[in-house]
Structure 1
Amino acid sequence: MLINKLRDVLREHQRASVQDLSLKLGMAPDALRAMLETLERKGRVHKLPAQTCGDCCKCDHDALEVYAWGAPGESTVSLHR
């Protein structure tokens, strides 16, 4: 099941943007968001506060929308690609 692959990727990397997940899993961002919302309701993942990189508004929203494994407040290790 795709949701299990999504879970495994987030467990392994601890956090990832919707864009990274989309590329890794070969899925549309909107389909991923639906699964991420399901995992969020179950307390398995949480959405990190919105990221910004400046005032130009040219950044892809999917690259700035980041989810992390675990419930908010749980200790997670920050891993970089």
Structure 2
Amino acid sequence: MKKFAMIVFLICVALITTSCNSTKVFYYGSNFGNEIKATYTYFTGTEKKNIGLKEGDVLRMEYESVVNEGTLTLSLLIQTMR
């Protein structure tokens, strides 16, 4: 039974890693309100959050990360609507 479960697991991982442009292995995340939270073993791709602000609003960003392999890039893009 353990061998069967391992085969199913490996097939699922293979399907996940080859079926799209991003890869998420052991990924758990949430994107509610004004927050993005995620934990993962392996991740390639992009997580994105659009936040609407009015003039005078303050944007506060907090992050915590541990990168054991590869790189992590955090970007803040500001688009003004006129």
Under a length normalisation based on structure 2, what TM-score does the superposition of the two structures give?
Answer: 0.23
Larger fraction in strand: 2
Larger fraction in helix: 1
Whose RCO is larger (CA < 8 A, sep 6+)? Answer: 1
Under a length normalisation based on structure 1, what TM-score does the superposition of the two structures give?
Answer: 0.23
